[in-house]
Structure 1
Amino acid sequence: MVETSLRDAGEPGFLDGQFLIAMPGLQDGNFVRSVIYICAHSPAGAMGFIINRAQPVSFVDLLLHLDLMEGRDIPGLPETIRRFPVLMGGPVETGRGFVLHSDDYESESSIPVNDDISLTATLDIVRAITEGRGPKRATMLLGYAGWGPGQLEAELSNNGWLNCPATEALIFDTALDTKYDRALALLGVTPEALSTDVGHA
């Protein structure tokens, strides 16, 4: 479903390649203080990934769960592989893994999101990362965020989100705790200024 929506989205929507930054008044617990990278936006809806929410499952946990590695092999893994980031991408299909990555890696299942970033949702990229053949920059996400036709536009008109062009550096940055504030800074806004503006015309 996700791959189909990305491949068949047709003309890109105005939110393609944008960050959504949650406003303080957004009450949905899935999205409080979230920064979302929108991968596809069209009249059919939108989908993207939360890029600033930690996931309790580690990359090593996933390797063991997927039978891609045995426990006795874990100590020999490079630290960069053991600490490979796994984020909570969103509330939809939370048991499914996706990898956002730089375009220096490509497989038959890789889908370009823009000129520099691709999305791969198959095991081949997980094996490549484990074997040191993966992309230069990548983040794994479990689940995604999705909106039906017109839903996201309505949330924007109700001041649920701010949006701005995404930056690759922030997408792959592993300092999650400050990512929300730094995304706001792209717009020249601080969380304190947003809080004082809530409720004012």
Structure 2
Amino acid sequence: MALAKLGEGANTGCMTQTDDSLRDHFLVASPYLEDAGFHGAVVYLCEHSAEGAMGIVVNQPLEITVGEVLDQLDIRRERPDQPVYAGGPVQTERGFVLHRTGGDWHGTIPVSDRISLTVSRDVLEAIGRGDGPRQYLMALGYSGWGEGQLEEELASNSWLVTPADDDLLFRTPDESRYAGVLRAMGIDLNQLTNTVGHA
């Protein structure tokens, strides 16, 4: 899947969708996940097929706002001051906007009938004008898995999986998103962390 830096053209070709795809699901890092970079992470999966998977971490804000990114790109802005997220360790110089489906932007990839991913400058210009997506989340970088890699991590209990919830994605505060997703799954965060070393 080719993904472009915001402000440049984008090839929006997608992986082949399969019936058992976890696209439009949350991956929730379990205490058994060995990669410290994903500790406490909630990942929204944008693509998942036999070829691999791609997602955006949605609960690790960077020390930069959307408004500051627009300033760097010389895009006039009115009010966007929400945080930009560290979407993952791959291509951290590239930007991605997850948003409610709707609007007419060049580099948009439909993830579901509710959520889309846009990688083109025009969505940022719309956000700056105040007529962009009503609900959106911007990230730099993404999280990627090669063929069979995510399946191996799932088999080793590194991730919990649940269908994505729009309110948890767009409305829940960053610091509450991890616990909020677990709570929606019926899992108590304290009980989950206490299981480490006692399996």
**Structure 1 residue ranges without an equivalent (≥5):** none
Closer, same or farther: CA 162–85 of 1 in aligned 2, 3 Å:
same
Matched, 1:46 2:64: no
- How many residues were matched structurally? 192
Runs of 4+ in 1 over 6 A off after TM superposition: none
Q: C-alpha distance in 1, partners of 2:60/2:172? A: 10
Q: C-alpha distance in 2, partners of 1:106/1:185? A: 35
- Normalization by structure 2: what TM-score? 0.89
In the TM superposition, 1:1-201 aligns within 5 A as 1-3=1-3, 7-69=14-76, 77-78=78-79, 81=80, 83-173=81-171, 175-201=173-199
Contact 1:52 / 1:177 at 8 angstroms: preserved in 2? yes
RMSD over aligned CA atoms reads: 1.8
Q: C-alpha distance in 2, partners of 1:31/1:15? A: 18
Closer, same or farther: CA 27–10 of 1 in aligned 2, 3 Å:
closer
**Structure 2 residue ranges without an equivalent (≥5):** 4-10
Closer, same or farther: CA 164–124 of 1 in aligned 2, 3 Å:
same
Contact 2:99 / 2:116 at 8 angstroms: preserved in 1? yes
Percent identity over the alignment?
41
SS at structure 2 position matched to 1:136: coil
Structure with higher helix content: 1
